[in-house]
Amino acid sequence: MRHTRMAVCSAAFLLATACLATAPDTAQGAPRTAAMGYVALGDSYSSGVGAGDYLPGPAHCKRSSRSYPMLWAAAHHTAAFAFPACNGAHASDVLKDQLTALGPGTRLVTLTVGGSDAGFAGVMTTCALGGTDRCLSAVSRARAAMDGALPRDLDRLYSAIRDRAPAAHVVVLGYPHLYHLMGTCQAGLQDTERAAIDRAVDRLDTMIAERAADHGFAFADVRSAFTGHEICSRAPWLHSVDLLRLTESYHPTALGHSYGYLPALDRAS
């Protein structure tokens, strides 16, 4: 199975230049050799931050040939594929900058979005540097953001996706727990903080799933796939904090995309 995934990844890399170069045109009605057009929207968990082998294009977006959208497009021989997902994107950024790739001929749309809106990057920075009390306060603020403007922002985004791609099957993917409790980590956060972060992920995933269901979209839950592969597990599929590559901290590795996200998308699509 591992050799198969590596072959798919290689194929995805070969496909990448053509896909990215022609994404706006192919997503809006150019001739297709496959039955569906696929558009991958979203934030860093969709662009593939942490998976490596980044593609040509805007450097800040960090789109990876090993990301689950690239792997899915290659495995399903998707000729009409657009990949506007970008690191750091909020729901409003996806709405403003990424939807031009959609059209009446789009048959599949995937996205992860909401983590940046909830401020998880700031939460993790505070938790890594600020101690338990500040960490728990930051988590509480993130949960408040999830219960504040984010549901409305997701509703606005999801409605716009449906308006632009009325025939598409839309799959909204969630986020994994970041930490394996009582695990192998000998330093860093305490389990009290790790558990609070994981519970915040649960709250975010629940809210995203609810909003997706209200719009008739599928929700792909990746938490069970990542069970036993969180940070502090014996075989993690997530990067812990990396001072040399801070952007990749707390993001899935290539294995997280190929064995966590890709199977979840396969089941939901």
Our measurement of the distance from residue 221's CA atom to the centroid of its chain's CA atoms, rounded to an integer in Å, reads 11
Sort residue 182 into left (φ over 0), alpha (ψ -120 to 50) or beta.
Answer: left
Six-digit token string for 44 = 């860093």
Catalytic hit among 44, 46, 47, 249? 44
Query: What local confidence, expressed as pLDDT, does residue 134 receive?
Result: 95
Helices 132-146 and 120-130, packing angle to 10 deg: 170
pLDDT in the model for residue 42: 98
Is 159 marked active-site? no
Determine the pLDDT at residue 208: 98
CATH of 2-16+36-268, one of 3.30.70.1150, 3.20.20.70, 3.40.50.300, 3.40.50.1110: 3.40.50.1110
The reported pLDDT for the residue numbered 36 is 55
HEC letters along the chain: CHHHHHHHHHHHHHHHHHHHHHHHHHCCCCCCCCCCEEEEEECHHHHCCCCCCECCCCHHHCCECCCHHHHHHHHCCCCEEECCCCCCCCHHHHHHHHHHHCCCCEEEEEEECCHHHHCHHHHHHHHHHHCHHHHHHHHHHHHHHHCCCHHHHHHHHHHHHHHHCCCCEEEEECCCCCECCCCCCCCCCCHHHHHHHHHHHHHHHHHHHHHHHHCCCEEECCHHHHCCCCECCCCCCECCCCCCCHHHCCCECHHHHHHHHHHHHHHHC
Residue 86, CB-side half-sphere exposure with 13 Å CA sphere = 19
Residues 6+ apart with CB under 8 A from 208: 114, 154, 172, 174, 219
Question: With contact defined as beta carbons under 8 Å apart, do 184 and 138 qualify?
Answer: no
The domains of the chain are located at 2-16+36-268
**Per-residue tokens: 159:** 């409605």
Please tell me the predicted confidence (pLDDT) of residue 241.
Answer: 86
Task: Confirm if 26 and 82 have CB atoms less than 8 A apart.
Answer: yes
Let me know if 169 is a catalytic residue.
no
How do beta strands 37-42 and 80-82 pair? Answer: parallel
Q: What is the pLDDT of residue 79?
A: 80
Take residue 37 and report the two structure tokens written for it.
Answer: 């057009």
Given the residues 180, 239, 251, 257, select the one marked as catalytic.
251
* Tens place of pLDDT per residue across the chain (269 aa): 433 343 333 333 333 333 333 333 333 333 333 335 999 999 999 999 999 999 999 999 999 999 999 999 999 998 899 999 999 999 999 999 999 999 999 999 999 999 999 999 999 999 988 889 999 999 999 999 999 999 999 999 999 999 999 999 999 999 999 999 999 998 889 999 999 999 999 999 999 999 999 999 999 999 999 999 999 999 999 999 887 788 999 999 999 999 999 999 999 98
